[in-house]
Amino acid sequence: MPLTLTPLPGIPLIAPGDDLVQIIQESLPRLGLSLQEGDILVLAQKIVSKAQGRLVDLTTVETSQEALRLADQIDKDPRILELVLRESKEVLRTRPGTIIVEHRLGFVCANAGIDHSNVAGDAAGGEEWVLLLPEDPDAAACAIRQGLEAASGVRLGVMIIDSHGRAWRQGTVGVAIGLSGLPGLADLRGQADLFGYRLRITQVGVADELAAAASLVMGQAAEGTPAVHVRGFPYPLREGSLRELLRPKDQDLFR
């Protein structure tokens, strides 16, 4: 079966408390689609965060001395830095305009994933509002999957993605930050290649590969397509989690 990725049309601007399961179900018939065994839904983290009410009004944020100190060093809004510190386990790198942290969820990213873009708020222009990552993306993916499976009667996968930079290459790519019902890694160790050589170390980050493909379909700015239907994923579905994709600190050569 070929791998097909189809953006779901008509997804509205999401507000706190919105039912993403219902919104996805209502979008599928517009494409003439019904969910089948093995389908996957890929969701941008923004719509999950907004549905969870993870919006923060910067005018309400009280800054700590550490946030003020960092603001002087790297020329960033101390209120955003305060939120970054609250969402992080550790600050790893700083430079003017940039802060790299280990997020409380375990991955390394810039600004703890806190975003200004496409965040509508009550303040003029929305400039005083930011959006935090979902509280528990794996749990959010699981809840959405369970709702869709209950409605469709078929086994599905659900993944939540975000855009991350990389230490060794330019540009951001889509990566998985939460998943349910599909693998994070595919372990190919022991399988033979074309010439009979047995692979010894190969593990493929299949969730991140799919996240990058879905990110291409979603776009990064004003496209308004935060949900993608996937059919033909070339790996068996199974229970999975973000933990599979997190490199242990003692194997991380960039720290």
pLDDT, tens only, 64-106:
999 999 999 999 999 999 999 999 999 999 999 999 999 999 9
Report whether pLDDT(136) > 70. yes
Residues 174 and 210 in one domain: yes
Structural element, H or E, at residue 99: strand 98-103
Span 37-54, mean pLDDT? 97
Q: Which pLDDT score is estimated for 254? A: 81
Look up tokens 């399961």; give the residue: 21
Q: What is the band of 124 on the pLDDT scale with cuts at 50, 70, 90?
A: very low
In terms of residue numbers, what domain contains 66? 55-131
For residue 164, give every residue at least 6 positions away whose Cβ sits within 8 Å of its Cβ, in sequence order, or none.
Answer: 107, 109, 110, 172, 173, 175
Q: Which pLDDT score is estimated for 18? A: 97
Is 249 inside any structural domain?
A: no
Report whether pLDDT(40) > 90. yes
Of 131, 156, 188, which marks where a domain is finished?
Answer: 131
Q: Whole-angstrom Cα distance, residue 240 to residue 203?
A: 14
User: Percent of the chain scored above 90 by pLDDT?
Assistant: 77
Residues 71 and 27 in one domain: no
Of 90, 111, 131, which marks where a domain is finished?
Answer: 131
CA angle 245, 247, 253 (to 5 degrees): 145
CA R_g for the chain: 19
User: Percent of the chain scored above 70 by pLDDT?
Assistant: 88
Strand 4-7 vs strand 129-131: parallel, antiparallel, or unpaired? unpaired
Q: Which region among 73-82, 118-127, 158-167, 238-247 has the lowest average model confidence (pLDDT)?
A: 118-127
Look up tokens 């855009």; give the residue: 163
Q: Which pLDDT score is estimated for 186? A: 81
CB hemisphere CA count around 125 (13 angstroms)? 4
Among 157, 158, 210, 152, which Cα is nearest to 35's?
152
Is 254 inside any structural domain?
A: no
Report whether pLDDT(151) > 70. yes
Q: Which pLDDT score is estimated for 224? A: 75
Q: Which region among 23-32, 158-167, 202-211 has the lowest average model confidence (pLDDT)?
A: 202-211
Q: Which pLDDT score is estimated for 119? A: 67
Q: Which region among 9-13, 215-219, 251-255 has the lowest average model confidence (pLDDT)?
A: 251-255
Residues 47 and 164 in one domain: yes
3-state SS, residue 196? coil
Span 205-210, mean pLDDT? 95
Residues 233 and 107 in one domain: no
Is 244 inside any structural domain?
A: no
**Encoding tokens for residue 155?**
């086994």
